[in-house]
Structure 1
Amino acid sequence: MALRQRYRFRAPSTGREVIIEAQPGHVYHDRDSGEELEVVAKLTPLAPSPSNLPWSIENLRHCPWCQQMAQIDLNDCPTCGRRMEPQTA
């Protein structure tokens, strides 16, 4: 379970990006250039979440009970709370 929010950071001079579970008030630096990284985006799902997968169509499925979208790695639907069958490839 992700307790901290994940952010996408970018180094301004090189454009190199990294995803970090960031803490408020901390300053993060690029390991190569040493420059301060700037926040580009906050990643979904928002913390705290039982899923670590990003919400994209490839990582979602329909709940058979309520027909709402749920993360592929969850056992219980976050909408109706019912148990979903294991995802098959």
Structure 2
Amino acid sequence: MTYCTDTGYCKNALRLSKDADILITECSMKTNEVSDNPIHLNPELSAKIAKESDVKNLFLMHFDASRYISVESRVEAEKSAREIFSNSYASYDGLEVEV
């Protein structure tokens, strides 16, 4: 399991997550939104890391509350990530995953 929070797309994220069963990334930015501060990811960049690292499953978390104001907006993030990496999931409080 690889847990990458508050990081942008970078070589270290790829290296740390290589062949992981589970990759957990923050998803502070909305679909196609890019920050001037390269320490946050959007769903597409999270999925890109997952795909290039050959992970089995991607879990998006740490959604910015000012951007993701509803469950539906998190589901939209999941859909955007799945266009790049099919095993993408929007995490929620209390989620349990069996590996």
Query: Normalised by the size of structure 1, how large is the TM-score?
Result: 0.23
Counting helix residues as a fraction of each chain, which structure ranks higher? 2
Greater strand percent: which structure?
A: 1
Larger Rg: 1 or 2?
1
What TM-score do you get using the length of structure 2 for normalisation? 0.21
Q: Which structure carries more relative contact order (alpha carbon 8 Å, separation 6+)?
A: 2
